[in-house]
Amino acid sequence: MVIVIPDKVEVRPTNLSKEISTMTTATMALTELAEKGADIDVLRQMVQFMAQRLMELDVEGRCGAGYDEKNPERLNSRNGYRERTWDTRAGSVELKIPKLRQGSYSPEFLEPRRTAEKALTAVIQEAYVHGVSTRSVDELVKALGMSGVSKSQVSRLCAELDERVGAFLNRQIEGDWPYLWIDATYVKTREAGRIVSVAVMVAVGVNTDGQREVLGLKVGASEAEPFWTEFLRSLNRRGLRGVKLVISDSHEGIKAAAAKVLKATWQRCRVHFMRNALAHAGKTQRRMVSAAIGTVFVQDSAEAARTQWRSVADQLRGKFPKLGALMDEAENDVLAFMTSPRAHWSQIYSTNPLERLNAEIKRRTNVVGIFPNDASIVRLVGAMMLEQNDEWSLNRRYMQLEGLQTVSDTVPTRLSAVAR
């Protein structure tokens, strides 16, 4: 065997020594764990150690440099960690998942979409084994090879999912949540031998750290005020506080419940209002009406916007009397967002954050068609909301910190200076 020694060898002592030191430390730590034996706690620690090392190496590759390493070829930088519980055969493992300054990072072994897919499978199986499935579900069951599933197997799967979803939906809500979006979408279920439509109510909030979360989910017979009142009270019992603005579609039940339970201002979705307004104009005149009302929302202040609103209403009133009356009635509700910090206006004037969620709920629930019971609705939609929450936690802040402290009930603690 001939070993060829090159004339010149490029040596980078700093980086090389750091890599050797890191590998040596990692190997020593793993060896210490292995020497402790096959105790289940030790096994869990080994799984945790290996998963943590895999993530560290993966992130180093994505960044193009090691932790705290100065490198002109660096592609990205770290931005702390987020904690996540990982359920394994060795038990629950607590992980510290690295965060990146640019983009998001989620290790592949955590399978972020697994829970919702399992929930969808469980709902389909439950409908099938209880004999209440539609033709589409029957076809899905056969295509997925699930026709041999037993009731006990379905029960075990449902119990496992219900525990996870229940823990998520019943968790304590901490901190102030100045902005709250609430909306509902309808799905079909079986009740006492009849097929009925029920409302799936969802609440999404933004806290004073600018982070967005799904705060609650409830299935109700309708969107009447009593159901919204009970839904908001359930959020209060779990710790929801500091709500200043509730954003939703035009619904008197939501408006009344928000005022009664949360003592908050109600923001009527601007997008939905525009649709309502254009319904009072002919097809050939809608572009003109839309442009006229649009001039209100480019104003720099709430006072200027209100002045422009009344001017536009007066201009349109002669030709569209019903539209003029609608604008008189809706002024305070549509312009409510303008009392909040200017930096937040573009995110709080509509229900857009919830519209995307509702579209995804519709897409998944349409696969099932008719749910066997309310619990199966909560199981599937709750699993989807759990995963959506995980995805949001990977992203940057949804809202700028600028101005959030001014809409918070919690006064920041200031330490007095200590004289020397």
The pLDDT averaged over each successive group of 10 residues in the chain (420 residues) is 43 43 49 50 70 83 81 84 75 84 77 57 55 52 54 68 88 94 91 89 93 94 89 96 93 90 94 94 92 94 95 93 94 94 92 87 81 86 87 83 75 43
CA angle at 386 for the pair 384 and 392, rounded to the nearest 5°: 100
Say how far apart CA 50 and CA 31 lie, in whole Å.
Answer: 12
pLDDT attached to residue 136: 52
In a domain, 360, yes or no: no
Q: How much helix, strand and coil, in percent to the nearest 5, is found in the chain? A: 55, 15, 30
The last residue of one of the domains, among 345, 380, 410, is 345
Nearest to 332 by CA among 356, 300, 310, 363: 310
In a domain, 46, yes or no: yes
Adjacent-strand bridge partners of 204: 181, 214
In a domain, 61, yes or no: yes
* Pairing state between β 179-191 and 212-220: unpaired
Q: Please say whether the dihedral angle defined by the alpha carbons of residues 307, 312, 317 and 321, taken in this order, is positive or negative.
A: negative
Residue with tokens 């506080």: 241
Say how far apart CA 23 and CA 17 lie, in whole Å.
Answer: 10
The last residue of one of the domains, among 318, 345, 372, is 345
In a domain, 303, yes or no: yes
pLDDT attached to residue 244: 94
pLDDT attached to residue 267: 95
200, 377 in Cβ contact below 8 A? yes
Crossing angle of the two packed helices 374-394 and 114-129, in degrees rounded to 10: 170
In a domain, 62, yes or no: yes
> What is the separation of C-alpha 181 from the centre of its chain, rounded to a whole number of angstroms?
12
> What is the separation of C-alpha 270 from the centre of its chain, rounded to a whole number of angstroms?
22
335, 306 in Cβ contact below 8 A? yes
Say how far apart CA 366 and CA 188 lie, in whole Å.
Answer: 9
In a domain, 56, yes or no: yes
The last residue of one of the domains, among 81, 110, 139, is 110
In a domain, 73, yes or no: yes
Nearest to 373 by CA among 129, 60, 177: 129
pLDDT attached to residue 373: 85
Interacting residues of 173 by C-beta distance below 8 A, sequence separation 6+ = 215, 235, 238, 239, 240, 241
pLDDT attached to residue 245: 95
Interacting residues of 91 by C-beta distance below 8 A, sequence separation 6+ = 40, 44
Host domain of residue 83: 30-110
Say how far apart CA 377 and CA 383 lie, in whole Å.
Answer: 10
Number of domains in the chain: 2
In a domain, 411, yes or no: no
Q: Using DSSP, how many helices (H) and how many strands (E) does the chain show?
A: 14, 8
Crossing angle of the two packed helices 270-278 and 286-294, in degrees rounded to 10: 140
The structure tokens listed for 147 are 């026709």
